[in-house]
A and B are shown apart, each in its own frame.
Chain A
Amino acid sequence: MRPFTYEVPSSIQEATSRGGADAAFIAGGTTIVDLMKLEVMNPSRLVDVNPLPMLGIQMREDGLRIGALEKMSDVAEHPEVVANYPVISEALLQSASAQIRNMASIGGNLLQRTRCGYFRDVFTPCNKREPGTGCSAIDGENRMHAILGTSSSCIATHPSDLAVALVALDASIYIQNGAEERVMNLDDFYLVPGETPDHENQLRPGELITAVRVPRLLWARRSTYLKIRDRESYEFALTSAALALDLNGDTIRDVRIAVGGVGTKPWNLPEVRQALAGKPLKPETFAAAAKLAVNGANPLRHNGFKVDLVQRTIVRALMNLGGLA
C-alpha cells in the first residue's frame, strides 16, 4: 500500500471537486482497500463518501430508487425490493458473503473491478492495469474469463451480479459532477474493452454515482437470478442469468434477460428477448432462443465450456421461472 491522505467532504459537490485522477472515493472499501493493499490501485488521496446524503430505498411512481450508499444487505432484504424485483434481491444475496454485503455499497458494487488474477497481481503484464503491457490471460489461465465482448487487449469478466440484474431491468444511474446531474442507462454506462481496457465505464474522474433508478415493471415480480458457481456460496459466477418473465397463460408475452460471468460487461440479451416474445412457453423455444446468447462468442483454452453452460443457465432459469421444472 502506498501512502495516501484521507479526506472527508461535507457535501456531494465538495466530494466531486475533491475527486480527480489522483484520488479515489471510498464507500464500503471492500474493493478499494483490497486493491490498494495489492498496489493495483494507488490513489494518493482517499475521499470518504460515507457521510454524504446518498441513502434511501423508495418505490415511486416511475420505479425504484436506491441511494448509492445503501448497503447490499439492506437492499437485498428491503420488502419493496423483495416483492417487486426478486431478481435484484436474489442477485445481491448470492453475491460475496454476509460480512461483505453488510459493508459494501450499491455504488461501489457497480464500480468494483474485475477479478482477473493477473489484474490483481502487479508482477504480471495486464493491459487493464498498465495499458500496453499485454494481456496475460489470453494465453494464461482463463477459465473464469469472458467469452463475449472480448478483444485482443482484454478478456476480463465484469464481476458484479447486481449489475446483471439491473441491466436486465433497464436501470439507470444518477451521476453527479459539481452541481450538474445526469442520468445514464446502466447498459450504456459500461464499455467493452476494445483497445482501451483501462476505460471501463463513462464515469469521469471526480464524478459520483448518487443513486440507481429501476423503471417500474409490474411483471418483474416474476423474476429470478440464477448463478452457477463452483461452490454454494461466496464465489463469483461461472455463468449467471437475470430473468423476468411476463406470461399470458402458456404464451410468453415479454422477457427481460441478461447474463453474467460471460461478458466483459453485464451482458444484455435483446435478441433472446425478441426470440422469446410471443412464443409458447416450451423447452424447445428456450433452447433455440438461448443459442442466440452466444452469437459472436470467442472462447479460449479454459473457458470454452461457458458457451454451452450459459445456454443451459438460461434454459434452466426459464424452466424454473416458467414453472416447468
Chain B
Amino acid sequence: MSTQIIGKPQDRVDGRLKVTGRAMYSGDRQEENLTYGYLLTSKVAKGLIQAMDTSVAERSPGVAAVYTPFNPLKLYHGLEPPEGATSGETLPPLQDQKILNYGQIIGLVVAESYEQARDAAALVRTQYQAEEPVASWEQGIEHTFTPESVDREKATVKILAEGVDSIDDAIRGSPLVVDVTYTEPIYHHNPMEPHATTAVWHGDRLTIYDATQGVISHRLNVASVLGIDEDMVRVLCPFVGGAFGCKGSMWMFSPLTAAAARALNRPVKTILTREQMFTLVGHRPALIQHLTLGANPDGTLQAVKHDVRSTVSFAKIFVEAAAHRTSRLLYKSPNIQVSHTLVRWNVGGPTFMRAPGCAPGMFSLECAMDELAVRCGIDPVELRTKNDAEVYPGRNVPWSCKNLVECYQLGAEKFGWSKRNSIPGAVQEGDWLVGMGMASALYPAHRNRASAKVRFQADGTAQVSSATQDLGTGTWTVLAMVGADSLGLPIAKIHTELGDSALPSAPTSGGSASVASVTPAIQKAAESAKKKLIQLAIRDRKSPFFGAKIEDVSYRNGELTGAGKSADFGSVLSGIGRSAVEAVEMAAAGEEEEKYAFHSFGAQFCQVKVNRWTGEVRLQRMTSVMDIGTVVNLKTARSQIMGGIVFGIGMALMEGTILEEKTGRYANANFADYLIATNADVPYIDIHFINKPDTIFNPLGARGIGEIGITGTPAAIANAVYNATGRRVREFPILPEKLLPIGANQPMISMSERS
C-alpha cells in the first residue's frame, strides 16, 4: 500500500459526469420504441379488490395496455431469503385480489409517454371490499410474535454472570437503575433518485436497467419471478442516486415492468413517484424499546436489559435488530440480555435502512447511558470509558482493532467538552438555551466474498472491473484508487467498470461492506495480472524480456525491469501484438472471523440551542471522531460521515412517517410533509479519523464507513437537548411541542417568567 494515493482526498472520478448531467441513471435510459409504465396502487390498506373499471383508461391517448389482477401478467413467487431475518419481497403483484397494505401495486398502465400513462392511470376506477387494517401498536397486540433468529442469534440472548439466575435478579441487585422506554416512528429512506427500471428484451434475453444496490442479486431475483433462467438476464446499473438500503432488495415493480415489456414486445420504463417510494420499496420499521440499566454508584454496569418490539408487514419479515446489534456488545457488563418481538401491521414491507439495528438501537442505549450518567453524577464520557468492553461479551474474543476510548478522548478535546456545564438549563444565549451532548457510534464491519478483474491494456492503461455498485458513495473513485495503488499507476490511467451483472461477481452494496469486500479482490487480481504479464513477457519472442528468468523480471509502477532492460507494460503488450492481459481473482474473509470481532466505533458530540419560548431545537456544531480502520479516500470518507450525520439530524428532529390508525394510509408520503434536513438545519461538522489500519480485517485495513455516521448522532442530539432544557424526550422526533408543556419546576422558562 503506497501512501501516495490511499488516504488522500481524491475528487470523484465520476464527479464531472454527475454535475454536468451526463451520468445516465436508470430512469434516464432512452431506448428505441420505448413505452412508459405507471403503477396503480391500492387506496385501502386491507381487503379485496372487487372490480376495476379500466375501460376509459384503455381508450385514453397513447395507452398500450392496462394490467390488473383481472388482466394479469404471470409472475412467480419470489425467492425466500436465505434467512427469515433478511429482506426481499416475495409476493408477486396482480396474481390475486388481496390487499395487504395501502399503496400496494394493483396494476400497471403502459403508454407511449410517461404523462399519458400517469393520466390514464387516474382514470381507472377501483372498487374495494375494505376491512379495518392493523395500523397501531394497540391493534397489533394480537399480531405479535417472536422471530426465529435475530442477527444470526436467538431472539433472546442471555449472558449472565455465574450464580445469577435471571437478568431481573441482576437488575434488582443493582444499587442504581435506569428504566426507560423509547419510541420511534417509521422512517423512510428517501434517496434523491427514485427507483426506476427499464426493461429491454432481445428475443428471450432480458436487459434490465435498474436502480439497485446489487446487480447480481437483482438478476437472480428478477429471473426467478419471471420464471426464466438467470443466465438470460443482464442487469446494468452504472449510477445510483442514493439508496440507503431501499435499493438493496428486489421490489416487484421491476419484474412486473419486465413482464409487461415481454408481453408488449417493446421496452418499458417504470419510474416510481415520490409517493410510491413510501409504500413500495421499504422503510425502517417503527420501534418501541425498553431499556433497563443497573449500575453501581460509580457507574460500572451490572446489568443491561434491552427489549425491542419492531413492526413487520403481513407479507414480509424483517428484524430491525436494535438490541442485538448494540446493547448486546457495546459495553462491558456481567449481565446482559437482549430480546426481540415482532408486530404485524398492514404496511408495505420494512427493510434495511442506513445502519439497520444500530441507528435506532443506539438512540435508546445512548440516551439511557446519558440518563445513567445523570443518575450517578458522572460525566457521560467518563461513564462510557469506564464501561468500555475489551472483549466481545459472551464470546470472549477481542476486537480486531478497537480504539473507542481514543475516540472519546480525541472527540472531547476537539469539541471542547470540558467547557460543558452539566447542570441542565444553565447556559443561555439570549432567548436560547444551549446544551451539549455526546454518544458513542457503532457499526459492525462486514466483508463478503467478492471477485474482481484487473487488466493491463496495450495503450498503457489498466482496467479494474467488478460487479459492485456505486450508490453515490464514491465506489467508482475508490476502485480506481485501489487499482492505481496496486499497480503503481496514476489514477488517470485506470478505467473502472462496475454496475454490470456480467462482470466478476460482487456482493450487494450494503452493510458498508463494498470497499472492504471488493478491494482485497482487486489487490489479489492485480498481483495475478502482474504475474501473467511477466510470464507473457518472458515467453514471447517479440518481447525485450524474452528468455529471462521469471524471478529476474519485476513489475514496478507500470514498468517491467530485468535482464538489464526496462519497458512499460503498454509497449511490451503492443510489441508482442497483444491487446491486453488480465486476471480475475476472488477474495473472502478467512478464519480470522472465529478469532476476532469486527466493528467500527466512534464518538459524536454536539451542541444545540433550544428556544426557551417556542421550543425549536437548532444544531450549532457537531464533532465526530471515527475509528473505521484505514481511510481510503479522505474526501469521500468525510462526505460519508457527514451524510450519516445529516441522516441522524433528520431522525432526531424532524423525520417520521405518520401512519393513520384508521385507514393505514401514510399521512405525509411526500417531500412537502415528510421533512428531511435542509442545509440550514446542518451546522458546522468537524470530522476526525483515528486512521489505524485494521489489517486483521483485510489487507487494506479498511472497514466500512457508509453507515456509522448516523448511529450516535440522534442520541447525541437528544442528550444535548436534555442538557439545554432538562427535558428528556423519549419519543422521536423531538418536535417543539414535546419540549413545551412545562411543569412548574421545569427549567425551560415558562411564559410568565423571565430571567
Closest CB in chain A relative to B653 CB, distance in Å: 8
Query: What's the interface size class on B, roughly?
Result: 35 or more
Closest CB in chain A relative to B121 CB, distance in Å: 11
Whether B662 and A139, one on each chain, are in contact in the complex, defined by CB atoms closer than 8 angstroms, is yes
Whether B675 and A231, one on each chain, are in contact in the complex, defined by CB atoms closer than 8 angstroms, is yes
Whether B660 and A309, one on each chain, are in contact in the complex, defined by CB atoms closer than 8 angstroms, is no
In the assembled complex, the Cα of A2 lies from the Cα of B430 at a distance in Å of: 53
In the assembled complex, the Cα of A290 lies from the Cα of B352 at a distance in Å of: 47
Q: Is B158 an interface residue (CB 8 A)?
A: no
- Supply 19 A–B pairs (Cβ within 8 Å), ascending by A: A2-B119, A115-B673, A117-B667, A117-B668, A140-B660, A140-B662, A140-B663, A141-B660, A230-B616, A230-B653, A231-B675, A231-B681, A284-B752, A287-B751, A308-B740, A313-B613, A315-B613, A316-B613, A316-B614
Whether B678 and A283, one on each chain, are in contact in the complex, defined by CB atoms closer than 8 angstroms, is no
Chain A contacts of B736 at CB under 8 A? 228, 230, 238, 305, 309
Closest to B738 in A: A305
Closest CB in chain B relative to A123 CB, distance in Å: 5
Q: Mark B670-682, 1 if CB is under 8 A from A, else 0.
A: 0011010111110
Whether A309 and B654, one on each chain, are in contact in the complex, defined by CB atoms closer than 8 angstroms, is no
Closest CB in chain A relative to B729 CB, distance in Å: 14
Q: Is A62 an interface residue (CB 8 A)?
A: no
A230-B751 contact in complex given A1-B119, A315-B613, A319-B431, C-beta closer than 8 Å: no
Q: Mark B422-435, 1 if CB is under 8 A from A, else 0.
A: 00000000110000
**B contacts with A: majority SS:** loop
In the assembled complex, the Cα of A6 lies from the Cα of B567 at a distance in Å of: 69
Closest to A236 in B: B672
Q: Which of A282-313 contact B (CB under 8 A)?
A: 283-284, 287, 290, 305, 308-309, 311-313
Residue of B115, B122, B614, B663 touching A309 (CB-CB under 8 A):
B614
Whether A117 and B673, one on each chain, are in contact in the complex, defined by CB atoms closer than 8 angstroms, is yes
In the assembled complex, the Cα of A111 lies from the Cα of B660 at a distance in Å of: 30
Q: Which of B620-673 contact A (CB under 8 A)?
A: 653-654, 658, 660, 662-663, 665, 667-668, 672-673
Q: Which of B562-615 contact A (CB under 8 A)?
A: 611, 613-615
With A228-B614, A233-B678, A283-B754 known, 11 other A-B pairs at CB within 8 A are A141-B658, A228-B616, A229-B616, A233-B679, A234-B678, A235-B675, A290-B751, A305-B737, A308-B741, A315-B751, A325-B431
Whether A230 and B735, one on each chain, are in contact in the complex, defined by CB atoms closer than 8 angstroms, is yes
Chain A contacts of B668 at CB under 8 A? 117, 141
Interface centre among B614, B653, B665, B668 (most CB of A within 10 A): B614
Q: Is B618 an interface residue (CB 8 A)?
A: yes
Q: Is B43 an interface residue (CB 8 A)?
A: yes
Residue of A2, A39, A238, A283 touching B752 (CB-CB under 8 A):
A283
Q: Which of A79-131 contact B (CB under 8 A)?
A: 115, 117, 123-124
Chain A contacts of B618 at CB under 8 A? 232
Whether A305 and B740, one on each chain, are in contact in the complex, defined by CB atoms closer than 8 angstroms, is yes
Q: Which of A266-288 contact B (CB under 8 A)?
A: 283-284, 287
Q: Is A320 an interface residue (CB 8 A)?
A: yes
Chain A contacts of B309 at CB under 8 A? none
Chain B contacts of A284 at CB under 8 A? 752
Q: Is B290 an interface residue (CB 8 A)?
A: no
Whether B751 and A231, one on each chain, are in contact in the complex, defined by CB atoms closer than 8 angstroms, is no
In the assembled complex, the Cα of A229 lies from the Cα of B672 at a distance in Å of: 13
Residue of A140, A230, A312, A315 touching B675 (CB-CB under 8 A):
A230
Whether B677 and A231, one on each chain, are in contact in the complex, defined by CB atoms closer than 8 angstroms, is yes
Q: Is B283 an interface residue (CB 8 A)?
A: no
Chain B contacts of A231 at CB under 8 A? 653-654, 675, 677-678, 680-681
Closest CB in chain B relative to A141 CB, distance in Å: 4
Closest to A118 in B: B667
Chain B contacts of A140 at CB under 8 A? 660, 662-663, 667
In the assembled complex, the Cα of A235 lies from the Cα of B668 at a distance in Å of: 13
Whether B672 and A115, one on each chain, are in contact in the complex, defined by CB atoms closer than 8 angstroms, is yes
Interface residues of A (CB under 8 A from B): 1-3, 39, 115, 117, 123-124, 139-141, 228-235, 238-239, 283-284, 287, 290, 305, 308-309, 311-313, 315-316, 319-320, 324-325
Closest to A235 in B: B675
In the assembled complex, the Cα of A146 lies from the Cα of B729 at a distance in Å of: 25
Q: Which of B385-410 contact A (CB under 8 A)?
A: none
In the assembled complex, the Cα of A309 lies from the Cα of B740 at a distance in Å of: 8
**A contacts with B: majority SS:** loop
Closest CB in chain B relative to A44 CB, distance in Å: 14
Chain A contacts of B675 at CB under 8 A? 230-231, 235
Q: Which 7 A-B pairs have the closest CB atoms?
A: A305-B737, A141-B667, A232-B680, A233-B680, A316-B613, A123-B43, A312-B613
Q: Is B234 an interface residue (CB 8 A)?
A: no
Chain A contacts of B735 at CB under 8 A? 230
Residue of B611, B677, B679, B740 touching A316 (CB-CB under 8 A):
B611
Closest CB in chain A relative to B111 CB, distance in Å: 13
Chain B contacts of A312 at CB under 8 A? 613-615, 740, 751
Q: Is B118 an interface residue (CB 8 A)?
A: yes
In the assembled complex, the Cα of A324 lies from the Cα of B616 at a distance in Å of: 20
In the assembled complex, the Cα of A238 lies from the Cα of B616 at a distance in Å of: 11
In the assembled complex, the Cα of A117 lies from the Cα of B672 at a distance in Å of: 10
Closest CB in chain A relative to B488 CB, distance in Å: 47
Chain B contacts of A139 at CB under 8 A? 662
Whether B751 and A311, one on each chain, are in contact in the complex, defined by CB atoms closer than 8 angstroms, is yes
Chain B contacts of A3 at CB under 8 A? 119
Chain B contacts of A124 at CB under 8 A? 665
In the assembled complex, the Cα of A232 lies from the Cα of B673 at a distance in Å of: 14
Chain A contacts of B673 at CB under 8 A? 115, 117
Chain A contacts of B613 at CB under 8 A? 312-313, 315-316, 319
Closest CB in chain A relative to B346 CB, distance in Å: 16
In the assembled complex, the Cα of A233 lies from the Cα of B430 at a distance in Å of: 21
In the assembled complex, the Cα of A250 lies from the Cα of B317 at a distance in Å of: 66
Chain A contacts of B615 at CB under 8 A? 309, 312
In the assembled complex, the Cα of A231 lies from the Cα of B619 at a distance in Å of: 11
In the assembled complex, the Cα of A19 lies from the Cα of B88 at a distance in Å of: 52
Closest to A34 in B: B672
Chain B contacts of A287 at CB under 8 A? 751-752
Whether B431 and A1, one on each chain, are in contact in the complex, defined by CB atoms closer than 8 angstroms, is no
In the assembled complex, the Cα of A82 lies from the Cα of B67 at a distance in Å of: 57
In the assembled complex, the Cα of A284 lies from the Cα of B752 at a distance in Å of: 6
In the assembled complex, the Cα of A312 lies from the Cα of B616 at a distance in Å of: 12
Closest CB in chain B relative to A88 CB, distance in Å: 21
Chain B contacts of A320 at CB under 8 A? 431
Chain A contacts of B679 at CB under 8 A? 233
Chain A contacts of B672 at CB under 8 A? 115
In the assembled complex, the Cα of A123 lies from the Cα of B665 at a distance in Å of: 11
Chain B contacts of A325 at CB under 8 A? 430-431
A39-B737 contact in complex given A228-B614, A287-B752, C-beta closer than 8 Å: no
